[in-house]
Amino acid sequence: MEKLTFDQLPQAIALLLEKISRIEQMLSGLPMEGHQKYRPILTTAQAAEYMGISMSALYKLTSRKELPMYKPGGKKVYLKREEIDDYLAKCRISSQEEIEKEALDDVLRNPLKLR
C-alpha cells in the first residue's frame, strides 16, 4: 500500500466516504434481523423472492398446504419468515456419507440371522 501525502488526504477520505455510501446502499436492501427493513411477515412476492422461487411455485406450496400461510380478511396471503425457514430446513437431503453411515449403523444394530 502506498503512503499518502498530506495533500492527498482529502481526496482519499472522499473516496472512502463514497465507498462506504455504496456499501450502505447495498446493505439497505438486505433484510436483517434487528434492521429497520427486517419483516417477520412477508407478502407472497417477498416470500417467493426470499425463497428464490417463482410465484407459481410458491402458490403450489401454499395450495397443497405444504407451507403455512395467513389470510387476514380472507384475501391477501402472508407468510412468516420463521415458518419459511423451518420449511426449507425440513427439505434437507442427506449426503452420501450420512446415508452410508446410517446404513452401516442399521446393519450393525440388526444383523442378518442365518439359519
* Residue 51: predicted pLDDT: 94
Q: Give the mean model confidence (pLDDT) for residues 23-51.
A: 77
The answer to whether residue 84 scores a pLDDT higher than 90 is yes
* Residue 4: predicted pLDDT: 83
Q: Where are the domains of the chain?
A: 37-108
**Computed from CA positions of residues 24, 27, 29, 33, in that sequence, does the dihedral angle turn out positive or negative?**
negative
The Cα 76–Cα 87 span in angstroms is 21
The answer to whether residue 85 scores a pLDDT higher than 90 is yes
* Residue 79: predicted pLDDT: 96
Residue 114 φ/ψ region, left for φ over 0, alpha for ψ in the -120 to 50 degree band, beta for the rest: beta
* Residue 77: predicted pLDDT: 93
Q: What does pTM read for this prediction? A: 0.54
The answer to whether residue 65 scores a pLDDT higher than 90 is yes
Angle between helices 81-90 and 44-51 (to 10 degrees): 40
Cα 41 to chain centroid, rounded:
14
The answer to whether residue 31 scores a pLDDT higher than 60 is no
Q: Give the mean model confidence (pLDDT) for residues 37-57.
A: 91
Angle between helices 44-51 and 55-63 (to 10 degrees): 110
The answer to whether residue 9 scores a pLDDT higher than 70 is yes
CATH level 2 (architecture), domain 37-108 = Orthogonal Bundle (1.10)
Q: 3-state DSSP call for residue 13?
A: helix
* Residue 96: predicted pLDDT: 93
